[in-house]
Amino acid sequence: MTQFIGTVSACLTRPRDAAEDFLLARYRLYTNVYLHKTTRGIEQLLSTIICRTAEIVESGDTGLLGISGENQLIRFLSPGGETLDNYLALDDTVVWAVIGRLRSCGDGRLAQLATRLWLRQTPATIDIQTEFPNDSERQRRAQHRLDDMFKDAFGADVFKDDAKLNLYGEIGADDAKAQQRLMIQLRNGDVREISTFSDATIAASDRGRRFLRYYFLSESDYNRARSAIEGR
């Protein structure tokens, strides 16, 4: 999770309260939007499509795609094309236009994935934390079963998504992480990290909430996975 960079000004009546409210609001935004299982499932599809498209472009067999080499995305994915100018030329319109064209491309798997994304057909999902709330041992066993069962299918028909979210991470005195600190400017001009106040509501910690999901393009794979974690 990307940490906020900056300093809260002392012109606010209670700058520390505002900063703590910000951290909690950001945490809820990630849990309810950015890390929502549907959002992450769509991201898995899109990422796989982009990676497969890049493989075809790099191989030089762009005729499979049916898209001009002057297309902004194709240009960006071409060898040496990862420039700032090419990146800035990309937007939602460009990407969705490519997805639309890829539905009829010569690569069967890519066409299937693009069609699925175009039709908003999200993968079936197993959310390990939701399946076994507050039972870390059952979560562990379910993860091992699914990892072993689908180890050869990851990235193809099955996708594993493992993310961790902290309200406010342990920063410490490491210079490499100094830019990740959320600082409070006091009325006298001094600046202190938010977690250093003795009565702070927000405390730095390396503990976090885990989001472990498995996404399935095939209904049969999903049913197999569900039977495995339910012990059937």
In this structure, are 28 and 64 located in the same domain? no
How many whole angstroms separate alpha carbon 191 and alpha carbon 182?
10
Q: Are residues 21 and 58 in the same domain?
A: no
**pLDDT on residue 196:** 76
Percentage with pLDDT > 70 across the chain? 85
Q: Are residues 54 and 10 in the same domain?
A: no
User: Is residue 154 a part of any domain in this protein?
Assistant: no
Average pLDDT over residues 122-133: 94
Question: pLDDT grade, residue 205 (50/70/90)?
Answer: low
Q: What is the DSSP letter of 164?
A: E
Band of residue 230 on the pLDDT scale cut at 50, 70, 90: confident
Domain match, 68 and 109 both? yes
What are the pLDDT digits (tens) for 206-216? 677 899 999 99
The neighbouring-strand residues paired with 214 are 126, 160
Segment 105-116 mean pLDDT: 95
Phi and psi at residue 156, in whole multiples of 5°?
-115, -75
More confident residue, 119 or 17: 119
Tell me how far apart the alpha carbons of residues 28 and 227 are, in angstroms, rounded to a whole number: 32
pLDDT for 174 equals 46
Given a cut of 70, is residue 17 above it in pLDDT? yes
Q: Is pLDDT above 60 for 3?
A: no
- Strands 182-185 and 6-8 come out as parallel
The answer to the question of residue 223 being in a domain is no
**What length does the chain have?**
232
Give the range of the structural domain holding residue 189, as residue numbers without chain letter: 6-33+168-196
Q: How many domains does the chain have?
A: 2
Mean pLDDT of the chain: 85
Q: In this predicted structure, what is the pLDDT of residue 154? A: 93
- Specify whether 28 is located in the same domain as 41: no
Which range has the worst mean pLDDT, 38-52, 67-81, 205-219? 205-219
Q: Is residue 72 part of a domain?
A: yes
Exposed / middle / buried, residue 219 (Cβ in 10 Å: 0-12, 13-18, 19+) = exposed
CA geometry: angle 1, 51, 87, nearest 5 deg:
70
Q: CA 161: distance to chain centroid?
A: 8
Do residue 92 and residue 110 come from a single domain?
yes
The answer on 99 and 85 residing in a single domain is: yes
Here the CATH number for the domain that contains residue 95 is 1.20.1250.30
pLDDT band at 61 (very low <50, low <70, confident <90, very high): confident
Answer whether 0.85 is exceeded by the pTM: no
Decide if pLDDT at 69 tops 80. Answer: yes
User: Is 207 contained in some domain?
Assistant: no
